[in-house]
Structure 1
Amino acid sequence: MRQDNFIFPKNKKKYFRKFSKIKSVAAYLPEKVVTNDDIINANKLTMKDSVIRKSIGTYQRRVADDHEVDSDILARAAQSCMTKANLHVDKLSKIIATKFFGDNLLPMTASMVQRKLGCSYATQSFDVDGGVTSFLHAIDLGTRYINSGDEYVLIASGGICNRLISKTDPRVAFLFGDGAASVLLEFSDEPHFLASYFYTNHTYYEIAATQKLKPEYTKKYFEKGDFSLFYDFYHMDNWKIAEEFYKIAAITVRDYLLEESNLKMSDIDLVLVTENNKPIWEITLDALGVEKDKSISLIHKYGNTMSAMLPLLLNEAYSTGRIETGMNILMLSHGEGFSGGGMIYRV
């Protein structure tokens, strides 16, 4: 399918012999709350809280303590997820961590999450990069691992974003928050993940990206545990350049998911969309023809938590009773690269 001078590959039917389902979902959010006015006053900015609320949608966000690292946040969410499931960590087949930067370039942050969970087995643990969409990539991987014989796959997403973001660049200063959420997948006798579709469009590669690192800086700063080099690390161009593509991508992903699952949009009970910012969330819902009361928004109190956004929405839906057995949930993400996609999950 050709859209906006870019071809979306046709979705292909997946063949699973073994199925997966969500066993538990949990979240962890730092206690410290930082408001828009806190950022304005601390950095002597001329912006107004009311303008930020209207343009981005954030009122406040959670921020990790200075001594905390990504694996701390991820491990707390993961442990809570395991406790809810009443499952010991040594029963896990795999641990997948998705994060913005992580504790270190290498070893992988998932290895430290494994340590903090108290694993005594050498369970395979690895990171999946990819920014906002990496949670769905990890879920997709998890279902395939269970199809090939694994029993339990734990996904821990999110971590610390705020520390690496400029507090004076208006495009990002008020947007990001810290937090994590975790999802545990297990074997199921019947299908629950009914469809999936992913794409990457390199045309918009530069719109949301990190700075390029000079090799000599990496050794001078990072290997000594000094993260000051990475302040103002994430830059965002004018996202409205890609506004039409957001709409086209959302519609295309929706149509392919419905086709694969043999469902209609009227069969979808809840739509969860990553909130890159409030306008993108609204544009996506509008393109899908979905009213806001059929979705959930958390950006006003948590900000953009990158790969934690979708699992935080899932956790909110489960914990508030928005999700009931038999429901069909459509999850959709727009991420850096541009890399995006979606899945349909039947509870």
Structure 2
Amino acid sequence: MRQNNFVFPTNKKKYFRKFSKVISVAAYLPEKAVTNEDIIRDNKLAVKDSVIRKSIGVYKRRIAEADAVDSDILAHAAQSCIDKAGINADALSRIIATKFFGDNLLPMTASMIQRKIGSTYATQSFDIDGGINSFLQALDLGTRYINSGDDYVLISSGGVCNRLISKTDPRVAFLFGDGAASVLLAPSEEPHFLAGYFFTNYNYYEIATTQKLKPEFTKESFEKGDFSLFYDYYRMDNWKLAEDFYRTAAITVRDCLLEESNLKMSDIDLVLATENNKAIWEVTLDALGVSQEKSISLIHEYGNTMSAMLPLLLDEAYSTGRIESGMNILMLSHGEGFSGGGMIYRA
């Protein structure tokens, strides 16, 4: 299938000798909540709360404390996740972190999560960069690690986003919030991950991208918590330029997942899609032919939390009883790059 000279790759069925399942999900959200009115007042912006609510769907978002770094938030979610499962950090085979910037460019933030959850083993811990889509990439990778012999794979996603975003550009100033969620995978006797499909389309590379660091940025300013040099680090163009591709990609991912899993859309009980903004979420569900009642939305409360969006939706679904044993859950994300994809999980 072609879209702006782009060809979606043919999906290939995966063969696993050792299956995996989700045994625990946990979230961590900072206590501080900031409303649209707070941002408008503090930054003297000439925009109305009602316009922001209508255009991107965010009413408020959580904001991390000034001295918090990504690993603090990610470790909170990770610790809750392994506590729920009744294991300790030394039982983990691997720790994967997905985040926006991280504690530092190097070393990897996952190694600091490993320290903060009290691991005494030299368990491999690493980061996956990739923005919004990186959680599903990590989830797909986790199933492959278990297939090759791992016992427990911990994925912790999200962190601090809002601090690094322009406070004067309305396209991003109101959109992002801070938060994290973790998922723990373990071996299973039966298949639970029924299908997975991923792609990257460079034709829309410039729609959402980071900028070069300003020359006055220093390691010392970062360590002192001075993030003012980052306020224009993330830029977003008009997403409507890619609306047709969003629709095509959602349909393509859906069709590939259903073909691999031998399911029909009527067999899908719940659809969890990343809420890049409210309109993109609505476009995605419309393309899939799914009503909003068959999905979950959290963007009004938490904003766009980047890679934490899908695991936060999973946590909400499990904690509110929306997911029951035997249900089929379709997860789909649109991310920077454009990188996107989806998975079907049977609870």
State the TM-score bracket (shorter-chain normalisation).
over 0.9
Tell me the SS of whatever aligns to 2:145: helix
Tell me the SS of whatever aligns to 1:326: coil
Counterpart residue type for residue 109 of structure 1 = T
Partner of 1:276: 276
1:26 positional shift:
0.3
Tell me the SS of whatever aligns to 1:325: coil
Q: Is the CA contact (8 Å cut-off) linking 2:167 and 2:231 kept in structure 1?
A: no
Whether 1:174 aligns to 2:165 is no
Tell me the SS of whatever aligns to 2:172: coil
Residues in 2 aligned to 1:111 and 1:239: alpha-carbon distance in whole angstroms: 35
1:25 positional shift:
0.2
Counterpart residue type for residue 48 of structure 1 = K
Counterpart residue type for residue 294 of structure 2 = K
Gaps of 5+ in 1: none
Counterpart residue type for residue 8 of structure 2 = F
Distance 1:220 1:118, change over 3 A: closer
1:215 positional shift:
6.6
Counterpart residue type for residue 23 of structure 1 = I
Partner of 1:158: 158
Q: How many residue pairs end up in the alignment?
A: 347
1:4-62 per-position Cα deviation (integer Å, ceiling 9, x unaligned): 42100100011100000000000000000000000000011111111100000000000
Gaps of 5+ in 2: none
> For 1:235-274, what aligned pairs fall within 5 Å after superposition?
235-274=235-274
Residues in 2 aligned to 1:122 and 1:26: alpha-carbon distance in whole angstroms: 24
Whether 1:108 aligns to 2:108 is yes
Residues in 1 aligned to 2:258 and 2:127: alpha-carbon distance in whole angstroms: 30
Counterpart residue type for residue 249 of structure 2 = A
Counterpart residue type for residue 297 of structure 1 = S
Counterpart residue type for residue 343 of structure 1 = M
Tell me the SS of whatever aligns to 2:170: coil
TM-score (norm. length: structure 1): 0.98
Partner of 1:44: 44
Residues in 2 aligned to 1:11 and 1:215: alpha-carbon distance in whole angstroms: 43
Tell me the SS of whatever aligns to 1:155: strand
Partner of 2:308: 308
Whether 1:54 aligns to 2:54 is yes
Partner of 1:63: 63
> For 1:320-331, what aligned pairs fall within 5 Å after superposition?
320-331=320-331
1:229 positional shift:
2.0
Residues in 2 aligned to 1:220 and 1:323: alpha-carbon distance in whole angstroms: 46
> For 1:79-228, what aligned pairs fall within 5 Å after superposition?
79-213=79-213, 217-218=217-218, 221-222=221-222, 226-228=226-228
Partner of 2:26: 26
Counterpart residue type for residue 324 of structure 1 = E
1:238 positional shift:
0.4
Identity of aligned residues (%): 81
1:276 positional shift:
0.1
Residues in 2 aligned to 1:200 and 1:221: alpha-carbon distance in whole angstroms: 34
1:227 positional shift:
2.9
1:210-233 per-position Cα deviation (integer Å, ceiling 9, x unaligned): 101367745574476643321221
Counterpart residue type for residue 44 of structure 2 = K
1:162-216 per-position Cα deviation (integer Å, ceiling 9, x unaligned): 0001111010000000000000000001100000000000000011001013677
1:132 positional shift:
0.1
Counterpart residue type for residue 96 of structure 1 = I
Partner of 1:286: 286
Tell me the SS of whatever aligns to 2:173: coil
1:2 positional shift:
2.3
Question: For the aligned residues, what is the CA RMSD?
Answer: 1.2
